[in-house]
Amino acid sequence: MENLKVIGTIIIKEKPEREKIEDKDIILAINERAIIAVESFFISRLEMYKAVYYHRTVRAIESGLISSMHEIMEEMPGLKMFDKMAPEDLKSEAQNRKFKFDDFLCLNDYLVLAKIMEKNCKDFDKILQRKQKRMALEKPEAVTSDEIAEYTLRWDRRHEVEEKIRLRLSENGFPKEVCESIMLDVPFPLLMVKIGKIYIKYRENGVDKISNLSDYGKKVEKCPPILKLMIKNDMLRMIEQKVFADTDDDKTLEKIGGIAREVLGGGGTYPLHI
C-alpha cells in the first residue's frame, strides 16, 4: 500500500518512487477520528443554505435586482460582466472594444443602486414595497455531477421551462402580467462540494485504508448515521428548483404551483410558507 503521512488529523498519500511530487499527485485524507467534524460541517452548511442563502425571499429579491441591472446595462456597460458571459466571451468583447474591464472595475453598490433608482426600475420598486415575487413551487431533488451543469448553468433550459409554464397558464386563463412574471430559479447545489475528492483514512481488519467520502459513507459500518443518510439520499448534491410569480392572491399562487409541478414532472411542494 502507498505510504500515508499523518499530519494531525490530515493524511497525505505519498508514492516514494516519485522523483517529483506535483500538486495533482497529493491526496489529502481526513482521519476517521475527525469524521464527526466533517459531518458537522456538512450539516451546518446545509442549514445555512436552506435558511439564508437560498431562502425564497432572498432568491426573489436577488432576481429583482438582476432584472433591474438588465434595465440599466446599456448605461452601465460594466454590468455585462454579470450577463451570463463566459470568460472567452468577455475576452472577445474586450478585444472588439465592446467591453472595457475598467467599466467593471469602477462599479460599486452606490453607483448601481443610484442608477436603478434613477430609472425607476419596476422590480426594484416592488422590492422596496416588499412586493417582490412569491414562490409558487419548490422542488428539491438530487442531481448527478453531470446534471449539475444541465440544471444550474443552462439558461436555455430555464427559459424553456418558463415558457412551458407560461403557455399552460395562458391556456388556463391567467392574466398576461402573471404569465409574463413566471421565473424558474435554480441555484447551485446546496452543498457545492465534490465529495469524490474528500478522502477518509480508516482501519479495517487492522489495515489502514483510504476511501472517498461517498464510498466511506456507504461501506463503513461505524460511519455516523446522519452522514450515511445524507450520502444515501444524495443530499450532498441537492438542488432546489423554485418557481416564482407576481401575485398577491394565495389561491392564484397555489394554482400556479400546481401547473409548474406538472411541467417539472411532479414532486415538490406548493405553495410553501405563503
Out of 18-22, 221-225, 247-251, the most confident range is 247-251
pLDDT at 96 over 60: no
pLDDT tens digits for range 40-87: 888 888 888 888 888 888 988 988 888 888 888 888 877 877 665 555
89-128 b/e (C-beta count within 10 Å ≥ 16 → b): ebeebeeeeebeeeebeeeeeeebeebbeeeebebbebbe
pLDDT tens digits for range 167-216: 999 999 999 999 999 999 888 776 665 555 678 888 888 877 888 877 77
